[in-house]
Amino acid sequence: MTHGSNRRVALITGAAGGLGSAVVPVFKSAGYDVVGCDAAHPDEKMRFDVTDRVAVEAGLDGILADRGHIDVLVNLVGAWRPQSPVSEISDEDWDGLFDVNFKSVLVMSRAVLPHMIQRGAGRIINVGAKQGQHGVAGNGPYSVAKAGVLALTEVMADEVRDSGITVNAVIPSIIDTPGNRAGMPDADFGAWVPPDQLAAIMVFLASEEAASISGDRIQVFNRA
């Protein structure tokens, strides 16, 4: 049974994470009907592997049956951890970081885009990283994956430029999340990017006022 939603629907991956915890309430405050999916989501229907095409398509079918449409996709799923040099890293470690940071964006976007193209409208917002613009030693798979996200953002934006859809990426340096603070306790947290500022930029990119912005890289570095 299709219930549908009269409000704009925002599908946000990684909704329960450090960044998602800030992004979800900002979108709700802006009037969006927010659908959050996350590996730790209490609703089994919203707890699926965003790197698994079959699981994503099944989850998307359920969302569309319930809401009727998706106006905005915000790809927040990602992870960083210490990485061995390229000469030493295992296939397992490389693939794990590449999948969560790049494949998640590819699989989700590929699933949602046909629906947006059919409707002739939509917004996709991805999260890059400073290391994706300039490769950093000891960050091989993370840097390569985030560089791929930026290239994929530009490719998709070019492919749908006449379809009423925009695709953009925000590029933070270090986001001020509890996880990052725990991992880097001696850092200058004031130099990092507050999550609510990233959220505000994302809400703007999802708005009609940003309809002319597509294929762009929005750098949000603060002092980090």
The active-site residue, picked from 142, 168, 172, 214, is 142
Structure tokens at 120: 């002739």
Tell me the torsion sign for CA atoms 85, 172, 70, 66.
positive
Active site residue 32: no
Active site residues: 142
